[in-house]
């Protein structure tokens, strides 16, 4: 059984095991104890650096750290810095680009949002297993960020075309609702 006390006991016997550190971090994240989660995700990234097969765990740890920082107020530079580290570590995966675009959307920094969405879309990749849920559900998420930002940087026609295309994709309900609302506003000439 992988309860937190059990995981911590196992980790006390092998403190440099990056997988155990990752499992402990994920459990702290599940419990919304972000400071503890960050600590163990950092340990995973540090101890996994020379281990074969650790690449996905290191990347996921960096994403999770950014996610934790994003829930804490006043950590904006920590969020973007950690996501930039994730991109530098593996620039061929889409999640960090998506998280960066989404971060800039929420900050209403539209050119940055658009740029990171386009950068993420520039790669050809299959949707890989996600070790940590960061809200990325495939390429349509990057297209959504691009569409939102396109409107705000003066590319209304591009935004309209993207939203129309996205309206046919299988996405979670929150995306479907946002796409519908954006189409209604764009078609109304707002």
Q: What is the mean pLDDT of residues 134-149?
A: 94
pLDDT at 1 over 90: no
Q: Whole-structure pTM over 0.95, yes or no?
A: no
pLDDT at 180 over 70: yes
The residue ranking higher by pLDDT, 128 or 160, is: 160
pLDDT at residue 71 tops 90: yes
Which pLDDT score is estimated for 6?
92
At a CB cut-off of 8 Å and minimum separation 6, what does 37 contact? 25, 26, 28, 29, 64, 68
- Give Cα 95 distance to the centre of its chain: 5
Band (73; pLDDT cuts 50, 70, 90): confident
Question: pLDDT, tens digit, for every residue of 13-31?
Answer: 999 999 999 999 999 999 9
Q: Flag whether pLDDT at 84 surpasses 60.
A: yes
Q: What is the number of other CB atoms lying within 10 angstroms of the CB of residue 106?
A: 10
At 125, the pLDDT band (50, 70, 90 cuts) reads: low
Q: What does the DSSP assignment read for the chain?
A: ---HHHHHHHHHHSTT-HHHHHHHHHHHHHTT-HHHHHHHHHHHHHHHTTSTT-HHHHHHHHHHHHHHHHHSTT-HHHHHHHHHHHHHH-TT-SHHHHHHHHHHHHTT-HHHHHHHHHHHHTS--PPPP-SS--S--SHHHHHHHHHHHHHHTT-HHHHHHHHHHHTTS---HHHHHHHHHHHHHHHTT-
Q: Are 26 and 64 in contact (CB under 8 A)?
A: yes
Give me the pLDDT at residue 162, please.
96
Tokens at 32, concatenated: 């919304």
| Residue pLDDT, tens place only, 102-112 | 999 999 999 99
CA pseudo-torsion sign 121, 158, 169, 135: positive
Mean pLDDT of 124-150: 86
Query: What is the average per-residue pLDDT within 37-45?
Result: 97
In the chain, how long is the greatest CA-to-CA distance? 63
Average pLDDT rounded to a whole number, residues 49-53: 91
Least confident range of 43-52, 62-71, 93-102, 125-134: 125-134
CB 79 within 8 A of CB 69: yes
Instruction: From residue 150, give the alpha-carbon distance in Å to each of 53, 112, 142, 160.
Output: 38, 11, 12, 9
- Of all residues in the chain, what percent carry a pLDDT higher than 90? 82
């Amino acid at each position: 059984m992988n309860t937190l006390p059990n995981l911590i006991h196992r980790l006390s016997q092998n403190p440099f095991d990056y997988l155990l550190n990752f499992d402990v971090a994920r459990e702290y994240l599940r419990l919304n104890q972000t400071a503890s989660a960050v600590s163990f995700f950092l340990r995973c990234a540090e101890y996994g650096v020379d281990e074969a097969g650790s690449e996905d765990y290191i990347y996921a740890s960096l994403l999770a750290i950014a996610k934790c920082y994003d829930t804490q107020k006043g950590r904006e530079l920590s969020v973007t810095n950690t996501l930039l580290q994730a991109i530098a570590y593996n620039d061929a995966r889409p999640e960090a680009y998506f998280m960066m675009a989404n971060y800039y959307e929420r900050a209403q920094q539209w050119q940055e949002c658009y740029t990171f969405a386009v950068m993420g879309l520039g790669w050809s990749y299959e949707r890989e297993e996600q070790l940590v849920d960061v809200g990325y559900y495939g390429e349509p998420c990057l297209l959504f960020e691009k569409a939102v930002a396109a409107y705000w940087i003066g590319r209304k026609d591009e935004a309209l075309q993207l939203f129309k295309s996205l309206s046919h994709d299988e996405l979670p309900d929150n995306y479907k609702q946002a796409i519908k609302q954006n189409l209604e506003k764009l078609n109304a000439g707002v």
